[in-house]
Amino acid sequence: MVTELSAKPAFSLSSTAQSGAANYPGLDDWRDLPVSQQPSWQDKDVFAASVGELSVLPPLVFAGEVDVLRERLAAAAEGKAFLLQGG
């Protein structure tokens, strides 16, 4: 499957460095998808507590870093930069 990168975001990202998850519509839509590769959680309460604990921690990647990556990928898509991918 081929996916094209766009220089324009799919939706407006005003003040992403200061915005929260509420400003990103559809961010939690994945929770409504069919569960096909989940392990059997033996203790649902422990699982829920873990998810709750993780939900209050800071993000692994900050919005500013995502914005920089988006700009760099857009430059590569326009032929103004190279994308070197390892792994």
Domain ranges of the chain: 62-87
- Please report the pLDDT score of residue 20 as a whole number: 61
One digit per residue, the tens of pLDDT, for the chain of length 87 reads 444 444 444 444 444 444 566 667 788 888 888 888 888 889 999 999 999 999 999 989 999 999 999 999 999 999 999 999 998
Which residue type, as a one-letter code, is found at position 36?
S
CA angle 17, 51, 62 (to 5 degrees): 15
- Please report the pLDDT score of residue 2 as a whole number: 42
- Please report the pLDDT score of residue 28 as a whole number: 81
> Which are the contacts of 73, defined by CB distance < 8 A and separation ≥ 6?
5, 83
- Please report the pLDDT score of residue 35 as a whole number: 84
Is 2 within 8 Å of 72 (Cβ atoms)?
Answer: no
